[in-house]
């Protein structure tokens, strides 16, 4: 018995656009090691735009943003591991859930049972805070893993770390000229 489809009753062209949007939003992950801040910023802004558009267009599509949640976790991990600031990047773990909060906030505002008297800022704020509080532990765990991996790479004197322009090593970047004692 095949599983139930995530999106039903949509024309093929619309499904193609949805698939393209979900694929394009993960493209910044190609640059996660070289420009982790930019990659995370692009993913967060793309997800926020999709959450607002899909929340206003169709509530059913907001569930598809969950499929892309792994991209945000990878981007937060990459910023903590490959970013020049290392442990000082913790605000990224709190910024990453914002698109999910926007999506839930707009979903509650658009729901006629929740906002019976019309759209209210309270419903939006409740959705935003609830989603961020519920998903921040996931992004904080990804951030912690990235910081721990970077510290372990430096502590072991990883031959895969290269000096950054700021004088500190950046873990996990291949460098053929680095020796194990660097």
Q: Count CB-CB contacts under 10 A for residue 1.
A: 3
Q: Tokens 């018995």 correspond to what residue?
A: 1
What does residue 151 show for φ and ψ, rounded to 5 degrees? -65, -40
- 62 close to 127: Cβ distance less than 8 angstroms: no
Q: Are strands 169-170 and 162-163 parallel, antiparallel or unpaired?
A: antiparallel
One pLDDT digit (tens) per residue for the chain, 182 residues: 767 666 667 777 877 887 888 888 888 889 888 999 999 999 999 989 888 887 777 777 777 777 778 889 999 999 999 988 767 889 999 999 999 898 888 888 877 777 667 667 888 899 899 999 999 999 999 999 999 998 887 766 654 444 444 444 455 544 334 444 44
Q: Count CB-CB contacts under 10 A for residue 39.
A: 24
The helix (run of H) or strand (run of E) holding residue 162 is strand 162-163
Q: What is the pLDDT of residue 109?
A: 81
Of 97, 110, 172, nearest to 140 by C-alpha is: 97
Q: What is the pLDDT of residue 118?
A: 66
């Amino acid at each position: 018995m095949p599983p139930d489809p995530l999106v039903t009753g949509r024309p093929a062209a619309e499904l193609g656009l949805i698939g393209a949007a979900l694929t394009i939003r993960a493209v910044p992950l190609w640059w996660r090691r070289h420009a982790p801040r930019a990659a995370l910023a692009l993913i967060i802004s793309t997800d926020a735009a999709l959450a607002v558009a899909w929340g206003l267009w169709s509530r059913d599509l907001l569930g598809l943003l969950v499929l892309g949640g792994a991209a945000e976790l990878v981007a937060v991990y990459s910023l903590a591991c490959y970013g020049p600031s290392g442990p000082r990047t913790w605000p990224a773990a709190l910024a990453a859930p914002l698109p999910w909060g926007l999506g839930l906030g707009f979903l509650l505002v658009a729901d006629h049972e929740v906002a019976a008297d019309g759209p209210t800022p309270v419903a939006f704020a409740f959705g935003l805070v609830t989603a961020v509080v519920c998903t921040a532990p996931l992004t904080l765990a990804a951030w912690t893993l990235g910081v721990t991996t970077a510290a372990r790479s430096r502590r072991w004197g990883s031959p895969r770390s290269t000096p950054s322009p700021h004088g500190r090593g950046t873990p996990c970047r291949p460098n053929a000229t680095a020796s194990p004692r660097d």
